[in-house]
Structure 1
């Protein structure tokens, strides 16, 4: 057992031998703990390749020192890396980095995921167009969306209209940018491979979104 523990400890620190560790890892470590996802895209190339090279060591490191799972999702060019927080458990991470995605942003994510993937709007890159689709294509159960988002924001449902729904979606997009789920600048946005994780975790709800929102 002693030898096994020693080998695990050595593996957990092996990534420090990478010549890029000093420059890349410190900032990226904080970003991972804040929920950031990294994938093979222009603005994340250096971080992605560092994580891919050192995945085995980082798995041991986060498991041993933080009781967290360093994980990956997707395949091939769509692979991404992240720390897998189970439920409300953030392992041994200090309070400063105990951020959780607000429930109303999760609902907005369901809507965005359905529009892009389920409804096959794969070329959609305009924020304004996205907001327009949400308030027009889902008009038949928009009242239920008002009630749900108003409840989550502790607002009055009778005063919750399309403009406030748009505000929630815009705020959600900003949070998704922080997580590495999308890139966004002005009216342009594009979903990253890691955004598909929402569908993997909550696919049943997204596939029957109207029933979920009404319930």
Structure 2
């Protein structure tokens, strides 16, 4: 059975790792007490889970919904995919990413990393630490892996793992890295995302 909603704002993210990341980011922003965070299971499970959420106890009290989704290869395609699902389940989608629709619930969509580029949460987090001294080691490591017969297929995820491995207390995921304070939440690269989430106030 789905956990009931106890707040008037819903943040839908892809998985457990994203839940951990956004818990810490919302805490940093001072709005964690306003928002229920739920995972939507990525693009393959998004429709079914969002449909189920609309039937969960407490959903009728939800006034705003923010959906976070990775662009992967194409931000426009990702946005179209999300809006298509929202319309099918009876929710009004915004006209553009980074915005909220009118009405209740108002629905907003943010496509990682910046609503226009291809990529994912990993790319955004790496941008926040691009000047960190460990990134030279990360870059050298990735260059070395490119010489392997079977190197990493997902370079941003490999870079994240290499960066986290360079920290005093190693964690193995981007969300746990956020919990440890390893990503720079003061970075200007996070401002578009923070501005979007601030609309949940």
TM-score bracket for the superposition, by shorter chain length: under 0.3
- Structure number with larger C-alpha Rg: 1
TM-score (norm 1): 0.25
Decide which structure has greater helix share.
Answer: 1
TM-score (norm 2): 0.26
